[in-house]
């Protein structure tokens, strides 16, 4: 394969752990650059809140930072180049962005932070108004609906890999980058609605959010099994690995299926545990609020009885 694919650097040596995570600087570097800009903006927002005396939860900052780091690991390194040549590396890249990165980024509640820190007046207020306008738009409400977001999240697997669309897009680095952007977007959409930490365009109950996380599991598993059991290469783009690399195409495809299986199971279990914990805490908060209201009502009732009793004593006198 051409080591310079339209401005994108392609690897010439077989993949190792060292070569995979060697930094790669080429025409695709604007993708990780945007991720770095997002991280800087987030950290500035946290700092701005701190100056106002408002403490932003540290675990959210850690989660968002790790999410951006995971994006950089698969887009700012030679994983990007190897992902154009080997199915297993491409699938690792895809699943990291769609599942791991998206989950961590949305655990950072970036929309809530932006709304709280973007200025309400002046030139900077344009960005806040734009964000609010987008989040309240009909398009956002449709995309954020659990049925739509889940369909996009899972459907991308079947829609790209079981149709000619994947081979068509993989002819150029821009097509590959477009797919990666779509994978990240669908993951953010799915986990943003499931976690419910941000003012989301379409909000649902905790049981529905759990269902939104559980449904993709069997569909991911079915796709993974289909990939692992296939007797021929599923996509043309990875049919011919460089001969001197000693890579068996079918073994590599088997590894790709195992990667889908792994990322479809463990992160989903973690996400379900997080949403379930949110549900329990929400019920506990409502129970405490109900107890407080009951105490207030009881105190008011007792005060009213005491007032009536006092009135009766005065009447008797």
pLDDT tens-digit map of 148-180: 988 998 888 898 998 899 999 998 899 999 999
Nearest to 192 by CA among 252, 141, 244: 141
Instruction: Give the H/E segment covering residue 205.
Output: none
Which H or E run contains 4? strand 4-5
**For 78-117, b where at least 16 C-beta lie within 10 A, e where not — what string?**
bbbbbbbbbbbbbbbbbbbbbbbbbbbbbbbbbbebbbeb
Residue 314 is predicted with a pLDDT of: 60
Helices and strands per DSSP (H, E), number in the chain = 15, 2
Contact 303, 311 (CB under 8 A): no
pLDDT score recorded for residue 40:
97
Which range of residues forms the domain containing residue 190?
Answer: 4-316
Which residue positions in the chain have pLDDT lower than 50? 1-3, 283-284, 287, 289-291, 294-298, 301
Q: What confidence score (pLDDT) does residue 42 get?
A: 96
Residue 44: predicted pLDDT: 95
| pLDDT score recorded for residue 111 | 93
How many domains in the chain?
Answer: 1
Cβ–Cβ under 8 Å, residues 109 and 60: yes
| pLDDT for residue 120 | 83
What HEC string does 62-98 produce? Answer: HHHHHHHHHHHHHHCECHHHHCCCCHHHHHHHHHHHH
């Amino acid at each position: 394969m051409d080591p310079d694919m339209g401005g994108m650097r392609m690897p010439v040596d077989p993949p190792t752990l060292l070569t995979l995570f060697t930094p790669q600087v080429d025409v695709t570097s604007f993708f990780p650059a945007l991720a770095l800009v997002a991280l800087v903006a987030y950290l500035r927002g946290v700092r701005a809140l701190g100056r106002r005396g408002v403490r932003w939860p540290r675990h959210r900052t850690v989660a968002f930072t790790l999410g951006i780091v995971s994006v950089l690991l698969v887009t700012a390194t030679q994983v990007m180049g190897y992902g154009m040549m080997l199915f297993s590396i491409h699938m690792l890249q895809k699943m990291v962005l769609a599942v791991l990165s998206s989950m961590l980024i949305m655990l950072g509640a970036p929309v809530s932070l932006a709304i709280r820190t973007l200025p309400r007046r002046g030139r900077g207020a344009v960005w806040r108004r734009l964000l609010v306008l987008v989040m309240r738009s009909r398009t956002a409400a449709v995309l954020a609906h659990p049925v739509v977001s889940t369909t996009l999240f899972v459907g991308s697997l079947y829609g790209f890999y079981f149709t000619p669309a994947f081979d068509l897009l993989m002819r150029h680095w821009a097509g590959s980058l477009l797919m990666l952007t779509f994978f990240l977007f669908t993951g953010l959409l799915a986990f943003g609605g499931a976690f419910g930490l941000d003012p989301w365009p379409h909000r649902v109950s905790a049981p529905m959010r759990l269902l939104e996380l559980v449904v993709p599991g069997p569909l991911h598993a079915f796709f993974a099994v289909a990939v692992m059991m296939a007797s021929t290469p599923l996509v043309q783009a990875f049919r011919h690995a460089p001969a001197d690399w000693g890579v068996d195409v079918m073994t590599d495809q088997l590894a790709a299926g195992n990667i889908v299986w792994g990322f479809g199971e463990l992160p989903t279990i973690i996400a379900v545990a997080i949403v379930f914990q949110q549900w329990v805490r929400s019920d506990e908060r409502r129970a405490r609020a109900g107890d407080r209201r009951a105490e207030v009502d009881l105190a008011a009732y007792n005060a009213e009885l005491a007032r009536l009793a006092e009135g009766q004593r005065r009447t008797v006198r």
